[in-house]
Chains A and B, each alone.
Chain A
């Protein structure tokens, strides 16, 4: 937790760092906001005019009161007073209209900006390559994106209020000086004290608010994890202890909030007493000026009113200061995220792949996630259209990396070989044109919140119901789906928790089939399915794979014996390639793995030690 603030230290790395606070004004953030605001230029214009009008009509009120008292009441001129009141009401109506227009226009601009920003963040996060998500935990990303966009929303609100405050500060200062320069200067005498006090107070408050934010994010993190892992918590009876731990975090959050409150409330006596001193001075010296005929009574009334209002914006400015800091920090982080170039982008001149026959060739492919640690080294492989290739090897051999590269989740470095599909280098093709002709079934089935239908037609919303049902039948999912409460319309809760893991995998199989891909990749796809269903799928697959190129990662040797080629990977290198019989004969790693598998079963067998 201690070193969270060093955000710039890891520039260039994809991992996003935490930074809780920034300065109250960051011109770069403000400049970056401009393109988002620009489309609303006219609306911003309206808002600014309305704001000016609002401030003017607001500042005019004490002045009109002064005119009423000094100009008409003092001179016993009732009809003049009535006329002035009519004018006063007119001013109030303008104020009403300006106030409404200002608020609505600002909200429209603000929401428009947020909408665009949210959309852009979403697209940007989508564009990030898979490696980005390897490095950034989703929970953290979520809370950052949500938190920062929320802060920015608050910022827009606060920025507008601040702008209004500054405007009225200018307006009031001008009016006071016009009314009486001398008295105006006297009334401002306490201002330097306030400025000095605030300068001393800010750093303290900053520290306190940093602590508050930290504590809050720790509490929320703990809550999130414990809710997500609630099944484990209940299984091992840890509720009491977890509550204790949560209570500790919650208490720390409480303490830091109280400390921050003590500081922010501590300002109040000062901002209360300073204006009182100003008003007392104004009354004292004002009385003398009135006595000396240099000032009228109504003007003095207006003066007191102005000074009371003068401190309102200052008070709210101090309150908004911390909000501004927070918002700027959020802005910095949001733009940092948006500036994070996806590791994998289509080139401008990327080609659209034609309908593929499914020929795949890997030429001298090497790959590493961490510089210096090669996961794949110098892999050469040619898969002919329609072939089924099985990839086997011990854990960590690079099997998943190999298929991830073919699916272009990651790009192969230009100087580390190439992957060609039907002769096209996939780095020069549009990713989408490759992805639409390729389907994957991953080891851990991932379903989306939505109906079973949505999930099977995922990525191909145009598929017909017949295609969907046929696909489901072909993988043996149709039966259980029709037995669900609402059949294909059954709503899947969070990632399909209302289905068993095996059922989820069947749905993701159906999803892969609906796509009618040229290339099918199965990454340990049957690992989580029970044996019976796996068998059903294996049978269906032999039919489904007909005419498609298939790459299958599997650990059960018995299930891959029918492959056209078996690729044995070990420590990132291809150790052997060939058919089952060929590999068994050559007595290499494959034969060894095969024997291991056999030994495992032999041990498990009752009386398995028997020999012929």
Chain B
């Protein structure tokens, strides 16, 4: 019921559309209800004339014109009823889509970690559509059918209560059957929607991961997975159809039986003279009006059932509170100098184990802090805490002495630029992608940023230059180019704080060199946290933090850490040093040995 109430709450925002639709509906129905009466009158006129011979054309013309008038009124009002009803539904869906979108885009990373894009999309498309159908069906049609039905019932009972009872006696039965079926349908619809999501996930992954599927010759395995989901959908859809068919056919049957009984009992009354043939005809015509609501009741039942399951799925998302919330009275953080402190910071994903534990960092403005450690040691998690993509489990983080929790998210994040390794590019031109975080940037600024990111030459070589459209996930750019796009974005934002993943993307030495230059120029003058892979970065770092299982196990400069001879030294010897071997062969002074000499 709660779900229904919430859908209706959105409907009621559009009061005048709802009111116009409903008033038109009542008017149209009233006009409609005069028709059986007019038909009946005509039959009586004709019947009596039949008895007495001769029919008056005048009377017939009068009735004919009345029928035309009533139908015209109904026709025009039905237009308003339908148009306003659909308009209402479209506005509801418009509202819903906007708020769904806005809600999702503001949910924290924690939410997006566990919800597929495909899943969120299927809710936005099919479930929103189900709500639209409900607005037309449930909000406008259902009352229409109800009004039509009740008015007809009252007229029938008033005309002749015994005959009226005969014609309406079947209703309670229909109500019960529909209610039972509605519950079953709702359950199945929920399941169908989940199965569809599964089906789509398999399909999508097979297309996105086509190289892997083919490389492992896993086509048959994937097909089996897909077939299982597909046949589950089909089986449930047949179940839905069976229930609907049971409901609809039974309703049709009961309705026909009722007409038969009216004809039987009414016929008897006509024979014994207590009812005119015209009155019997009127009864039958009125019952004809009931055909429409009854025929569509089954559809409406299904409609309600779907709306409930769709509403449930939509509100499930809309009720998700972002795990990262602004405190009331949060102030705007001005442009900071960049003094960042982590004080005994710990963090866990949902209810998992701590992935960051007891971390203290004091980064003075303009310094370079490098993080090093095995995958899963907590480097990425740690840097994601600074822009509050996730909230801490313990401790606090301050920037220029202000707890980041005290600042509005927007003002906090405006101070932080992020250069990602796996950057997301949008379907738009290169210049729009570079200016993604600052759409107001001028072309000169964009070009300047591209130059710093070492992208300008490449872009200039393209036929359409900065206007070149790039596709989904930037598939037309290489890994190295994408990484530099990310750098250009950050340069344009000009943030005092920078988070950077200097992953050595798959590029040749020449490009590698350009990326390194780009990285260095963007770091200049900013407090930078870098997940370091390059030896060159480590050389330059003011402080290197070596992480292991969420803790900082060693800290210091390159030289001091080497001298210390701990984990850093081990990593250095095992992997960083081979990068250096090149130098040794060419007999270049080696910082390690030089340092040892000093010590």
26 contacts between A and B (CB under 8 A): A69-B267, A73-B271, A78-B268, A103-B244, A107-B241, A125-B203, A137-B471, A232-B420, A232-B426, A235-B387, A243-B102, A246-B101, A273-B75, A284-B57, A287-B46, A287-B60, A290-B55, A304-B39, A305-B285, A459-B218, A459-B221, A499-B376, A500-B380, A596-B510, A600-B536, A601-B536
Docked complex Cα distance between A163 and B429 (Å): 49
A196 interfacial contact with B, CB 8 Å? no
Once the chains bind, are A247 and B203 in contact (CB under 8 Å)?
A: no
CB-CB nearest in chain A for B349? A498
Q: Pick from A288, A442, A497: contact of B55, CB below 8 A.
A: A288
Q: Interface code B249-276, partner A: CB below 8 Å = 1, 0 otherwise?
A: 1101100110111011001101100000
| Minimal Cβ-Cβ distance residue in A for B486 | A232
B-side interface mostly: helix
From A97, A104, A140, B242 is in contact (CB under 8 Å) with A104
**Contact A395/B478 with A225-B426, A308-B288, A608-B588 known, Cβ cut-off 8 Å:** yes
Cβ of A425 within 8 Å of any chain B Cβ, yes or no, is: no
Question: Contact between A605 and B583 (Cβ–Cβ < 8 Å)?
Answer: yes
Q: What's the Cα separation between A534 and B248 when bound, in Å?
A: 65
> Which residues of B sit under 8 angstroms from A114, Cβ to Cβ?
234, 237
In the assembled complex, B329 has its CB within 8 A of some CB on chain A:
no
CA distance A597 to B471 in the complex (A): 32
| Cβ contact within 8 Å between A111 and B237 | yes
The yes or no answer to B179 lying at the interface (CB within 8 A) is no
Verify B234–A446 contact, CB threshold 8 A. no
B78 contact from A65, A237, A272, Cβ within 8 A:
A272
* Selected interface stretch from B104-112, B332-340, B393-401: B104-112
Contact B263 A555 (CB under 8 A): no
How long is the Cα–Cα vector from A288 to B503 in the complex, in angstroms? 94
Q: Could you mark each residue 186-219 of chain B with 1 if its beta carbon is under 8 Å from any beta carbon of chain A, else 0?
A: 0000000000000111011111111111111111
Contacting residue for B125 out of A220, A226, A233, CB 8 A: A220
User: A105 to B490, alpha carbons, bound, how many Å?
Assistant: 61
Nearest B residue (CB) for A99: B249
Bound Cα distance from A421 to B254, whole angstroms = 74
Query: Shortest Cβ distance from A291 into chain B, in angstroms?
Result: 4
Could you tell me the distance in whole angstroms from the C-beta of A551 to the nearest C-beta in chain B? 13
CB distance from B113 to the nearest CB of A (A): 6
A223 to B98, CA, bound (A): 10
What residue in chain A is nearest B505 (Cβ atoms)? A527
A102 to B248, CA, bound (A): 11
| Shortest distance between the CB of B296 and any CB in chain A (Å) | 12
Q: Nearest CB to that of A111 among chain B residues? A: B234
- Tell me the complex Cα distance, A119–B202, Å: 12
CA distance A113 to B575 in the complex (A): 58
Residues of A within 8 A of B241 (CB): 103-104, 106-108, 111
Partner of B98, one of A247, A394, A448: A247
Roughly how many angstroms separate A427 CA and B547 CA in the complex, as a whole number? Answer: 50
Q: A449 touches which one: B61, B83, B201 (CB < 8 A)?
A: B201
Given A138-B208, A305-B288, A409-B214, A606-B539 contact (CB < 8 Å):
yes
Which stretch from A329-337, A362-370, A432-440 is at the chain B interface? Answer: A432-440
With A73-B267, A262-B83 known to touch, is A115 a contact of B437 (CB < 8 Å)?
A: no
- Chain A CB within 10 Å — which of B76, B87, B218, B534 has the most? B218
A201 vs B579: C-alpha distance when bound (angstroms) = 74
Q: Does A339 contact B (CB under 8 A)?
A: no
Interface string of A171-205 (1 = CB under 8 A from B): 00000000000000000000000000000000000
* Cβ B42 vs Cβ A287 within 8 A: yes
Interface residues of A in 501-522 (CB under 8 A from B): 501-503, 506, 508, 511, 515
Which of A3-11, A251-259, A464-472 is found at the contact surface with chain B? A251-259
Answer whether residue A31 sits at the interface, using C-beta atoms and an 8 A cutoff.
no
Counting CB contacts under 8 A, is B566 at the interface?
Answer: no
- Residues of B near A545 (CB, < 8 A) are none
Interface size class, chain B = 35 or more
Chain B positions 489-533 with a Cβ under 8 Å from a chain A Cβ: 489, 493, 503-513, 516, 533
Which residues in chain A, 444-478, are within 8 Å of chain B measured between CB atoms?
A: 444, 446, 448-449, 458-461
Residue A25 at the chain B interface, CB threshold 8 Å: no
Interface residue? B456 (CB, 8 A): no
CB contacts (< 8 Å) of A223 on chain B: these are 97, 101, 121, 124
Q: In the complex, what residues of A have CB within 8 A of residue B437's CB?
A: 235-238
Q: Is A586 an interface residue (CB 8 A)?
A: no
**Shortest Cβ distance from residue B253 to the other chain A in the assembled complex, whole angstroms:** 4
Q: Collect the chain B residues with CB atoms within 8 Å of residue A258's CB.
A: 86-87, 90
B246 proximal to A (CB < 8 A): yes
0/1 string, A112-154, CB within 8 A of B gives 1: 1011001100110111101001000111111001100000000
Which residue of B105, B271, B588 is within 8 Å of A610 (Cβ)?
B588
Chain B: CB-nearest residue to A530: B533
* B111 to A, closest residue via Cβ: A230
Identify which of B214, B263, B375, B583 contacts A435 (C-beta below 8 A): B214
Contact of A297 among B46, B120, B121 (CB under 8 A): B46
Q: Scan residues 31-58 of chain B and give those whose CB is less than 8 A from a CB of chain A.
A: 39, 42-43, 45-47, 49-50, 53-55, 57
0/1 interface trace, chain A 288-309, chain B, CB 8 Å (1 if under): 1011000001001100110010
Known: A287-B49, A444-B422. 4 other contacts (CB 8 A): A114-B237, A227-B120, A279-B39, A502-B375
Which residue from chain B places its CB closest to the CB of A269 in the assembled complex? Answer: B75
Digitize A303-335: 1 where CB-to-B-CB distance is under 8 Å, 0 elsewhere. 011001000000000000000000000000000
A-B contact count (CB 8 A): 511
Could you say which residues of chain B place their CB within 8 Å of the CB of A130?
210-211, 214
Cβ B217 vs Cβ A558 within 8 A: no
* A495 and B281 within 8 A (CB): no
Q: Which residues of A sit under 8 angstroms from B331, Cβ to Cβ?
A: none
- Indicate if A431 sits at the interface (CB-CB under 8 A): yes
Select one of A272, A279, A436, A495 contacting B75, CB under 8 A. Answer: A272
Q: A242 near B211 (CB under 8 angstroms)?
A: no
Partner among B267, B509, B534, B535 whose Cβ is within 8 Å of the Cβ of A78 = B267
Flag if A598 contacts B582 (CB, 8 Å): yes
Q: How far is the CA of A275 from the CA of B288 in the complex (A)?
A: 15
In chain B, what residue has the closest Cβ to A100? B249
Complex contact A234–B389 (CB within 8 A): yes
| Min distance, Cβ A534 to any Cβ of chain B, angstroms | 6
Contact of A459 among B90, B97, B216, B537 (CB under 8 A): B216
Interface check B472, CB cutoff 8 A: yes
Residue contact B480 to A559, C-beta cutoff 8 Å: no
Q: Give A48 to B68 CA distance when docked, in angstroms.
A: 38
What's the minimum C-beta distance from A127 to chain B, rounded to whole angstroms?
8
Closest to B440 in A: A241
Least Cβ–Cβ distance between A572 and chain B, in angstroms: 15
Task: Report if B13 contacts A (CB, 8 A).
Answer: no
Of the candidates A142, A254, A395, the one whose C-beta lies within 8 Å of that of B204 is A142
| Complex alpha-carbon distance, A195 and B275, angstroms | 41
Q: B105 to A239, Cβ gap below 8 A?
A: yes
CB-CB contacts of B68-91 with A at 8 A, as 1s and 0s? 101110111011001100110011
Decide if B312 is an interface residue (CB 8 Å cutoff): no
Query: Which of A268, A449, A557, A612 interacts with B82 by CB under 8 Å?
Result: A268
Note all chain B residues with C-beta closer than 8 A to A533.
374-375
A36 in the interface, Cβ–Cβ < 8 Å? Answer: no
Q: Shortest Cβ distance from A101 into chain B, in angstroms?
A: 8
> Shortest Cβ distance from B64 into chain A, in angstroms?
4
- Determine how close the nearest CB of chain A comes to the CB of B336; give it in whole angstroms: 15
Q: In this assembly, does A219 line the interface, its C-beta being within 8 Å of a C-beta of chain B?
A: yes
Q: A89-B257, A122-B223, A511-B216 are in contact. Are A254 and B94 (CB under 8 A)?
A: yes
Residues from chain B with Cβ under 8 Å of A407 in the complex = 214-215
On whether A493 and B113 interact (CB within 8 A), knowing A112-B234, A557-B582, A607-B589, the answer reads yes
Bound CA–CA A242/B102 (angstroms)? 9
Instruction: Give the CA-CA distance A527 to B212 in the complex, in Å.
Output: 17
Beyond A234-B105, A272-B74, is A593–B508 a contact (Cβ under 8 Å)? yes
Q: Which of A243, A444, A502, A531 contacts B576 (CB 8 A)?
A: A531
A358 at the interface (CB under 8 A from B): no
